[in-house]
Homo-oligomer: A and B are copies of this chain.
């Protein structure tokens, strides 16, 4: 029945109706701006009406190429609520990949941050379907760009219908969002999120036992809105009337610390490298971050050593989670069970460093190379498979669907263990796991142990070919400034022997200035492997 449909129109309507006075504070090139949900809802209707006037039809894709700010948030609702599909484009991809995904998605209109226009101009000639460019800017002047036809966002809104009505006949299975994820080889792969998936994922984010996003929160989504919908925080936040602080373009650890302090942020979210950066800042300068009830951290495994410093030294609770583009993304959250609250601190930290418990609504299984489910003993490794209402079931028009989706399950490519309590721990990506002498070594475990060393800022471990053992681990290590040139390979490796079997210890350590990272801040081990090959050749 239509009225019980799980579509997104209800989210923005609830914000406007019940939380009209609540605020969105947005940082753009022009500074900080404040909007109430009442204002935001009207601007969203205006944007939706503008898109209709520009000819966008039901089910057509509208791309966004932007940082985290109020205009992007308006697009988050205007596009899907009017029946089109919100395609968030990763601004950090190569020009070649950017034009690939815009063409592959068949985006009809692009909404582009003024400061990012050159990146699209670069690939303009490759774009085959785009009919209009809307430039998001703080002023109302006609855009100066070679892109054509180009419209000014604020000018369009000014001329638009503030009373535009969203269609009420959308189906909950209609496409609402779209996002591409990098592949190991080849072009990025796209997924479609339905209205139903986004609504249910938002409910999951609001559960007291998951992230508990609430009207009482003041949320700072650092994770980019072009990266899996900023983990769904903008959707859930608007629906629940949460005060949102949008950090805008080119933020720094200093800016993050200042925003948390000034706006009394209660919850923020981002990948581990963001929080490593923030730690450095906190060590350099004093901030009052006591308003924080949670740092939501995912995207890749957060080092236990980092969680420890945040919690023990700065008293900031860490909330480790797991998900991926294909899972909307929330899949597991590392909340302790009630009877685990009384165990000793060290053991608790150990548990909370895991990725945690499956969120209600999803199903999981962990299978070995033969497809057989492994035991939940915290030791046996296997590939994590997921299914449920917000786990996608295919890549958009992509033959690679067949290798990741089998029998209704998403095969995540992540190697995990599950302990007796059902807590999940990411061991590695299947492709990063190191096979030495017929046994598996977790690169992630060694990295986390290395990063517990106070001299080490970052560490990445890869497998390198070995005639005798098939592969052997090699560590790339970035030292903190004050330790540079003062630490030996032995001093790096020695502390590991307490924790690991001898054959897990890397054969060597290479000191570098930075670990290469993906566009969303994950370690780019492929580049390290290539670097290793090149160095070998150049020797």
Contacts and interface: CB of A to CB of B under 8 A. Distances in A.
B203 A361 contact: yes
Contact of A389 (B4, B18, B214): B4
Contacts of A204: 203
Per assembly, the copies of the chain total 2
Contacts of A17: 422
Contacts of A390: 4
A149 interface: no
A358 interface: yes
A13 B6 CA distance: 24
A235 to B, nearest CB: 11
A408 B2 contact: yes
B203 A212 contact: no
B360 A203 contact: yes
Contacts of A286: none
Contact of A1 (B3, B13, B216, B408): B408
Contact of A208 (B13, B21, B212, B361): B212
Interface string A369-405: 0000000000000000001111101000000000000
Nearest to A364: B17
A213 B208 contact: yes
A363 interface: yes
Contact of A3 (B207, B360, B408): B408
A209 B4 CA distance: 21
Interface string A202-221: 01101111001111100000
Contacts of A241: 337
Considering residues A213, A360, A361, A393, which has the most beta carbons from chain B within 10 angstroms of its beta carbon?
A: A360
Given A1-B408, A360-B14, A215 B206 contact: no
Interface in A322-377: 335, 337-339, 357-358, 360-361, 363
A243 B337 CA distance: 11
Nearest to A387: B3
Contacts of A206: 206-209, 360
A366 to B, nearest CB: 12
A203 to B, nearest CB: 5
Contacts of A212: 208, 212
Interface in A5-26: 6, 10, 13-14, 17-19, 21-22
Nearest to A393: B1
A240 interface: yes
B3 A388 contact: yes
A275 interface: no
A174 to B, nearest CB: 15
A96 B6 CA distance: 40
Interface in A39-91: none
Contacts of A214: 208-209
Contacts of A421: 18
A457 interface: no
B18 A358 contact: yes
Contact of A216 (B200, B213, B338): B338
Contact of A4 (B21, B216, B387): B387
A239 interface: yes
B215 A207 contact: no
A13 B362 CA distance: 11
Given A14-B360, A391-B4, A19 B207 contact: no
Contacts of A338: 215-216, 243
A18 B363 CA distance: 12
A204 to B, nearest CB: 7
Contact of A203 (B207, B216, B387, B388): B207
A498 to B, nearest CB: 32
13 contacts: A1-B393, A1-B408, A3-B408, A4-B387, A4-B390, A6-B389, A18-B358, A22-B339, A206-B206, A207-B207, A207-B240, A216-B338, A240-B360
Interface of A: 1-4, 6, 10, 13-14, 17-19, 21-22, 200, 203-204, 206-209, 212-216, 239-241, 243, 335, 337-339, 357-358, 360-361, 363, 387-391, 393, 408-409, 421-422
The 10 A-B residue pairs whose C-beta atoms are closest, nearest first, are A208-B212, A4-B389, A18-B422, A208-B214, A206-B207, A3-B387, A203-B203, A216-B338, A208-B208, A3-B408
